[in-house]
Structure 1
Amino acid sequence: MYLLEKVPIVNAKGRFYPPISTSRQPPLRAGIEAGFTIMELMVVMVIMGIILTVQLPRLGGQLTGSSLRSAAQMITSMAYSARFRSADTGLPHVLIFDPYENKVRLLIAEQNGSLISKKLPGGITMDDMELAGNPVNGQLKVTFHPQGTATAARLLLKGRKTDSLLLTLYAADGVIHAQTF
């Protein structure tokens, strides 16, 4: 929008008229800045709080499922690491599942000290462990051999609710497969 040139106008009687502006914007009041008031911000915060209160219980189940998948991915990556390290070094490697400490450790067989030790995410527990078809109480020790084979094992991971994931380690190739329940 173009503004007309602001030229002072003087009428025949000598009266002065200020220039006329053709702008449609109202003049800004001095000292007032554009923005939101504290009350408007508080109303938005209350609305967001109500929405979160309603939606958070629904998201809780999805978060448990994601931590269960995260635990399965962690165990799978540690199993692959054990398999490849064993083939690389020519030494058997052992993956130890400790349900009491909720940890998984990787170590070289016949040597002290863990190469890797990781704790499962909160709320995830180990249950119903089997080694070569036999139930195991306590620690489950799976051995990975340099030829690429491993001790057959099964492990049930349980989430906070009814979510569970069965991990099966096949002896022939030392690979873990996951199945949801």
Structure 2
Amino acid sequence: MTADHSNRSAAETLRVVPVQPPLHRALLRLRVRPAQRDRVGAMADLLADVTQCPGCEPMAIMCGDAPIGYYRIDPGARSVTGRDFAQPARGLRSLFVDEHWQGCGIGTRALALLLADLAVRHPSTRLLVLTVDDDNAAALRMYRRAGFVEDGARYHGGRCGSQRLLLRALP
């Protein structure tokens, strides 16, 4: 399946929704580029990991009725960063867009939808935290454009080596 990036009406139907079991089969068809596989992992593993994380929220990035991406919100920052923060914080994990939809701004738009959804469903959350591999320049650019800032800390437990800790204040 190749995305028609010129189809504006399809892109305008972008939304994020909690993952429910009926979406699992379609989510399992999502793929990332070969160079991204070590960073993201397999979709089956991501869905299985959700069952081991009480309170985490798997989310699908949808275009119309089809999932084109995925992310997970963790109930606290400690699971992502290994530490707590003074203000109420949540963690962001595993944000990706299917390889056929990459390169057309969907990730940036999905991140904006993610932040808006988080504000509605978790209005007391004041900080969103995540880690990004040091060498993942594309992700770092996207997160910085969305208002995430580095706090200078490094996380050394990533699958692909050292990671940067990024924070995004929420209204």
TM range (shorter): under 0.3
- TM normalised by structure 1 equals 0.26
Pick the structure with more strand per residue. Answer: 2
Larger radius of gyration: 1
The TM-score, its normalising length taken from structure 2, stands at 0.27
Structure with the largest fraction of helix: 2
Higher-RCO chain (CA-CA 8 Å, sequence separation at least 6)? 2
